[in-house]
Amino acid sequence: MHQRKSKKIFLYFFLLLIVGSINNLTIRDYKFEKIKHIEILGLNNINTEQVKKEIQDLKLENIFSLNKTNLSNTINSYPLVESFDIFKKYPSTLYIKIKETKLIAKINKDRQIFYIGTNGKLSEKKILDEKLPFIFGKPNIEEILKFKKKIDQSRFSYEEIKSLYFFPSKRWDIELKNKIIIKLPKENVSSSLDDIFIFLKNDNISNFRSIDARVKNQIILND
């Protein structure tokens, strides 16, 4: 009985060695298919082709040996990308789903018009968008995004703004599409905009060119 059990153990061990050797040989000699298809979702045709070309220049091997860092850096370098997800489809397809950044304003830098996205990047968009406000002055991107957030936190509509003026003192003025200029304080921007919002709703200001809210708890009208 003991001898029969020993023979069974030896047989199982022998079979394990054979199967293991075959599997190791198969895995070692097997060549994964190279990436043949890259599908990009979320961008228009022109931008899709530009991003796809950048990815193809990486000369990716197969979906199992992707250098995710290089791939992510390449996608992130494109100024219109807000965020993205990468999906692998066996055996040789990559799906990249991109969320396009929202453009919030235009600015002149070195005599060239750039578009500012919510991702904090500048892009050279070819199609002019006259609906976006133009920024005058020299704010950095962080200051622009911070000010946009303050507007969004107020009851004021960003869609009503034609132009934004930034001063070296880090104070902002706003020009509305109805040509009224709003002079804002450096602090408490959101609450000042709320006061102006209420004022605009309750008063006839057609004869005034500017609203000065730089003095706390005061609104000064100028014709």
Domain boundary among 64, 81, 100: 100
Residues 96 and 142 in one domain: no
Answer with the one of 100, 125, 144 that is the final residue of a domain: 100
128 vs 144, higher pLDDT: 144
Under the banding of pLDDT at 50, 70 and 90, the label for residue 64 is confident
Helix segments in the chain, DSSP class H:
2-29, 45-56, 68-76, 141-153, 189-202
Tell me, yes or no, whether 27 lies in a domain.
Answer: no
Q: 34 in helix, strand or coil? A: coil
What is the spatial distance between Cα 94 and Cα 63, in angstroms, rounded to a whole number? 7
Asked if residue 209 and residue 198 are part of one domain, the reply reads yes
Of 124, 195, 136, 125, nearest to 161 (Cα)? Answer: 136
153 and 45 within one domain: no
Is the confidence at residue 18, as pLDDT, over 90?
Answer: no
The pTM for the full model equals 0.77
In a domain, 2, yes or no: no
CA distance 196 to 219: 8
* Range 13-26 burial, b when 16+ CB lie within 10 A, else e: eeeeeeeeeeeeee
Give the range of the structural domain holding residue 164, as residue numbers without chain letter.
103-222
Q: Provide the number of structural domains found in the chain.
A: 2
Q: Residue 63 is which amino acid?
A: I
